[in-house]
Amino acid sequence: MARFRQSSLDAPRGRSGMLSRNPQPSRDRFGRFSEAFARGMGTSGFLIGMTVFVTVWLMWNSLAPVDLQFDPRATNFTLLTLILSLQASYAAPLILLAQNRQDDRDRVQIEQDRQRAERNLADTEYLAREVVALRMVVTDVSEDVVTRDVLRAELKVLLEQLDDRGATAPRGGAER
Given its phi and psi angles, is residue 22 left (phi above 0), alpha (psi -120 to 50 degrees) or beta?
beta
Question: Which element (helix H / strand E) includes 4?
Answer: none
Q: How does residue 175 score in pLDDT terms, banded at 50, 70 and 90?
A: low
pLDDT surpassing 90 at residue 168: no
Dihedral angle, C-alpha 97, 99, 103, 104, nearest 10 °: 30
DSSP state letters, 9-38: TTS-TT---TTTSPPPPPTTHHHHHHHHHH
pLDDT surpassing 50 at residue 15: no
- Pinpoint the alpha helices (H) of the chain: 29-41, 44-63, 78-142, 148-168
pLDDT: is 154 or 140 the higher one?
A: 154
Q: How does residue 120 score in pLDDT terms, banded at 50, 70 and 90?
A: very high
Q: Are 60 and 69 in contact (CB under 8 A)?
A: yes
Residues 6+ apart with CB under 8 A from 41: 91, 95
pLDDT surpassing 50 at residue 17: no
Mean pLDDT of 136-159: 80
DSSP state of 144: T
Q: Are 61 and 71 in contact (CB under 8 A)?
A: yes
Q: What is the pLDDT of residue 25?
A: 57
Q: What is the pLDDT of residue 148?
A: 84
Angle value at C-alpha 39, between 88 and 34, nearest 5 degrees: 65
Q: What is the pLDDT of residue 110?
A: 96
Q: What is the pLDDT of residue 63?
A: 92
